[in-house]
Structure 1
Amino acid sequence: MKKIWMLFAIGGLFLISCSDDDVSVDQTPDPDPIVYTSGTADFSNFVALGNSLTAGFSDAALFIDGQNASVPSIMAGNFALAGGGDFTIPYMADNLGGLTLGGVPIPQFGNRLILDFSTGDPIPVPVSGTGTTEVSNVLTGPFNNLGVPGAKSFHLLAPGYGNVAGVALGQANPYYARFASSPNARIIEDAAVQNPSFFALWIGNGDVLGYAIEGGDGENQAGNTDPSTYESSDITDPTVFAGSVDLLLQTLTANGAGGVIGNVFDVTTIPYFTTVPYNPLDPTNPDFGPQIPLLNSIFGALNQIYSAIGATDRIIVFSETEASPVVIFDENLADLSATITGGLLSNLPAFEAFIAQFGLPPQAAPLVANLLGSTYGQTRQATAEDLVVLTSARVIGTVNTDTLGDLVALGLPEALAGQFSVEGISLPLADKWVLTPEEQMLIKDAQEVFNQTIAALAQQYDIALADVNALLAEVDANGLTLSDGRDVTTAFATGGAFSLDGIHPSPRGNALLANVFIEAINAKYGSNLPNVDPLDYIGLYLK
């Protein structure tokens, strides 16, 4: 294509030079180039603080290409058009993403995901190789991108959060330990010491995301104002969140810096929670379909008890013609363990006959009744209102070896123990695999309060507010059409907005988000920075 263009260009020059009398040359001067200005902002020393969203984390890892495509990195590229300076990044050592400590890979910090097409249906798998990013090799800063994956609002104020000695103990963050200015440093101190002229603060998603990712397995810490007692999967207390963000903004604006703050988007709309259906059990699957009559026979005994006590919402039936919902544990249900056990044993001859079909002797009746009671005391089939997390896809329909071992130890034959250990079918999916409506409400309530706090503080400190929540709500509801006619949606792997972990945006998604920040800055400070073209950024890494 380039050679064809050159051919036409050369031909045009030939005509002009040889046929001056016949060719009219347009003497209209080119329009004046756009002069980009910062308005009342000063982009010369830009610092960004936040969590994984700020760092450029994607595809379940932090790696060089992802860091270069982070939201603040994209913003800094535009700031350079209007007086912006260098934007330094604490780069990982490679494009794999895995971390090591003392030369030993840290299991929970593995390599980035790519799509594996070798099995026919593409599935996300970690890229091969051993990551070369050693946590104890501390980088020398300062760094403009202070995004730390895993950080919550109060972590940005915590001393020792980047202490290498605390990483193995779970007391420090390995990503911050790589570049903290000292073992006892605070992220906010490493920002303030640079005396930034402009800042971006995007924090808060992590204060609810851990709870959501773990399927609501953590705690809602509302009312507990001591974050040192929190687990990573807990929801931050609103007062702790407000106090943390207030202190962060107070520090960042102390020397007159301008800035922008991003709000918290609805994490329940991201692919991590919307990809796996509540009813994934296919009756045509040869590993499931033939088992349906036996399963319905087993659950039939329980269903009689549920019906007798009016708990019909717990009845479990698998369809032989349509997709069936998974069986889940729901902590919000009343515990009927004792009721089930007592009901099964109330007609002992019938129950002994029931277990005989599995080759069990009459004396096993109390054991089996207790097992059924304890297993199904707080269970039901999932509904369309439940959100089954993405990572459950590798678990549903598999045998839980821990449960299998426990049942064998209790005296059940291994084959029978295996039948009662199938995740989501005979063994209810644990709380961490499903967000129930009650858990979703806790998340949305926290998000709403956090966003009210962010909006109020943005006004108090007279900085720009980037409404990323509105953008991602629009992408989720309708998608966004790009200049080439393609749509960006939240669909897993194919939508273009999110990476393969289903949680973090892709580079293209980051470009969309960067535009929200840029537009908010232009509106607040009178700058005229252009939007970036999302098509200049990849939607999915293929290798």
Structure 2
Amino acid sequence: MKTKYIWLLAVLMGFTACDSDDDSSTTPAPVYPALVTGEADFSNYIAVGASFSAGFTDNALFIAAQENSFPNILSKKFDLLGGGSFNQPLMNDNIGGFVMGATVVANPRLYFNGTGPVLLPATPTTQITDHLSGSFNNYGIPGLKSFHMGVPGYGTANPYFGRMASSPGATVLGDAVGQNPTFFTLSEIGGNDVLSYATSGGTGVDQTGNTNPATYGGNDITDPNVFAASFSAAVDALTANGAKGVVANVPYITSLSHFTTVPYNPIPMDAGTAAVVNGAYAPYNGGIAQAFAYLVGIGAVTQADADAEIAKRTISFTASATNAVVILDEDLTDLTGINPSLVSMRQATATDLIVLPASSFIGTEAIPGNPMSINGVAVPLGDKWVLTPEEQQAIKTATDAYNATIAAVAASKNLAMVDFKGILIQAATVGYPSGNYILTTDLVRGGLVSLDGVHLTARGYSVMANEMMRAIDVAYGSNFEASGNFLDPGNYPTNYPPTLQ
């Protein structure tokens, strides 16, 4: 009964978004005005951010991806207006990942094998303990949370910063400001403050109200006041010498294909199997009804609330290709004190988000060789596989608070700002037009999001660069767009071949 829906048609429809090029056009080439700087000084550009700034894609960082990072793309445009060199802490190869000695400690990148994303069959060559010399312009640090920017010695915890830090005790912000930027981008700060909570299925803690990040776990949501202090401190430091810049707000990460690819109802079942499974769940369904009858009797819940939760928790399969998986839900009423067998489980609904790694877990046997121990059917999916509506709301609430801070700080400093949240919402719903493409967040075929379901493709990073330039034009009077200097997304790949190593 193991399900085999893992990638389905979503990965068989090609790599790129819809291309509407018309090679037969005879329209004369447009005449553009000369490119002008406006009020900005691009002579020393520094990027500060997390994995998007680094160019992370296909679940890894590697040379080709770094060369297609949006800061590196921007730097080439800034070169046209007196921009200086743009140095990045390049990895050793196009494999991605890290090794410690001969041991792989971070996996290589993903590639598309014609069926779905798989690990590149190659061994990384970048030693996790290597340290690069020289000064850098790109402080895009995968995994960076807002409060990490000012942590001394953060490089000992994060090898992406450790390999480029100016000293063992350096801070990300200190090193970036130490380059004395005349222009900066501050992007995706706040994304990682909710991302690990989301990708772990909400297994962390929403730390709203706790302003001591030293007590946070790795998968926790950052308190909005902690974020506000960290973000404000970063902008103050970056603008202290008069530098101008552009910031980007935080998207609703639950719109990304990591959370939207796996359906909530992927279980096929024939009538005979459904009858057997329903028979196995009959005692549970009856026990739920009895437990709530008891709670109503003692006045602990109303009859209406009891009826609603009984309906929510009743498990039923049919002869169908689209049965919902069974999940654990910690927000259900705890009935184990009445009956220890009445664990808090229910079938998923369309409001639940199943994380991408669950695609290879649902339908497997919890007990090898026992076909009656199917994960997602007889054995409910644990918390790490599902984002419930309550967990999604916690992410949205924190993101909205972060974005309110970003907007207020940007306005107070007269900085350019990109509404990345709005762009991703549009891409996830009707598609986002850029050049001759309509980009979406669909895995593999949407063109915007890479094979890991979270980070962007090179084409997606080119869109970010265009949106940065558009915001710079509005804020500082440059004319990247009017002068014809926007990027053609078609010049940037949506995937990298396995031969690239």
Distance 1:313 1:32 in 2: 63
Q: Given the alignment, which residue of 391, 406, 414 partners 2:357?
A: 391
- Counterpart of 1:433 in structure 2 is 385
- Counterpart of 2:490 in structure 1 is 535
SS for the counterpart of 1:59 is coil
- Counterpart of 1:329 in structure 2 is 328
Distance 1:31 1:435 in 2: 49
User: 1:471 touches 1:516 (CA, 8 Å); kept in 2?
Assistant: no
Q: How does 1:95-174 map to 2 (within 5 A)?
A: 95-106=94-105, 109-117=106-114, 122-163=115-156, 172-174=157-159
Aligned pair in 2 of structure 1 residues 210, 302: CA closer, same or farther (>3 Å)? same
Give the letter for the 2:322 counterpart: A
RMSD: 1.7
- Counterpart of 1:476 in structure 2 is 428
SS for the counterpart of 2:203 is coil
Q: Deviations over 1:79-124 (max 9, x none)?
A: 1121111111100100110101244211xx211111123xxxx121
Displacement of 1:302: 1.1
For the pair 1:489 / 2:489, whether they are aligned, the reply is: no
Aligned pair in 2 of structure 1 residues 33, 462: CA closer, same or farther (>3 Å)? closer
- Counterpart of 2:175 in structure 1 is 190
Amino-acid identity (%): 44
Q: How does 1:358-437 map to 2 (within 5 A)?
A: 373=341, 376-400=342-366, 404=367, 418-419=370-371, 421-437=373-389
- Counterpart of 2:267 in structure 1 is 281
Alignment coverage as a number of residue pairs: 448
Going by fraction, where is helix more abundant, 1 or 2? 1
Give the letter for the 2:145 counterpart: K
Q: Deviations over 1:117-158 (max 9, x none)?
A: 3xxxx1211101110011211001211011000000111111
Displacement of 1:272: 0.5
SS for the counterpart of 1:201 is strand
Give the letter for the 2:107 counterpart: G
- Counterpart of 1:81 in structure 2 is 80
Q: How does 1:221-260 map to 2 (within 5 A)?
A: 221-260=207-246
SS for the counterpart of 1:279 is coil
User: 1:466 touches 1:517 (CA, 8 Å); kept in 2?
Assistant: yes
Q: Deviations over 1:433-480 (max 9, x none)?
A: 100000000000111100000000001222111111111111111113
Displacement of 1:482: 4.5
Distance 1:219 1:67 in 2: 33
User: 1:482 touches 1:535 (CA, 8 Å); kept in 2?
Assistant: no
SS for the counterpart of 1:265 is coil
Q: Deviations over 1:249-298 (max 9, x none)?
A: 111111111111110001011100110000010226xxxx7643221110
Q: Given the alignment, which residue of 299, 304, 312 partners 2:286?
A: 304
SS for the counterpart of 2:392 is helix
Give the letter for the 2:109 counterpart: R
User: 1:263 touches 1:467 (CA, 8 Å); kept in 2?
Assistant: yes
User: 2:71 touches 2:465 (CA, 8 Å); kept in 1?
Assistant: yes
User: 1:161 touches 1:186 (CA, 8 Å); kept in 2?
Assistant: yes
Displacement of 1:57: 0.5
User: 1:102 touches 1:136 (CA, 8 Å); kept in 2?
Assistant: no
User: 1:306 touches 1:312 (CA, 8 Å); kept in 2?
Assistant: no
Q: How does 1:496-507 map to 2 (within 5 A)?
A: 496-507=447-458
Distance 1:239 1:141 in 2: 35
TM-score (norm 2): 0.86
Q: Deviations over 1:478-531 (max 9, x none)?
A: 1134544x4211111111010000000111111111111111111111111232
User: 1:302 touches 1:340 (CA, 8 Å); kept in 2?
Assistant: no
Give the letter for the 2:110 counterpart: L
Q: Which runs of 5+ in 1 are unaligned?
A: 1-29, 164-171, 342-372, 405-413
Displacement of 1:331: 0.7
Distance 1:60 1:174 in 2: 16
Distance 1:56 1:492 in 2: 18
Give the letter for the 1:146 counterpart: Y
Q: Deviations over 1:186-230 (max 9, x none)?
A: 011111111010010111111111111111110001111111111
Distance 1:226 1:61 in 2: 30
SS for the counterpart of 1:475 is helix
- Counterpart of 2:163 in structure 1 is 178
User: 1:387 touches 1:434 (CA, 8 Å); kept in 2?
Assistant: yes
Give the letter for the 1:307 counterpart: A
Distance 1:91 1:476 in 2: 31
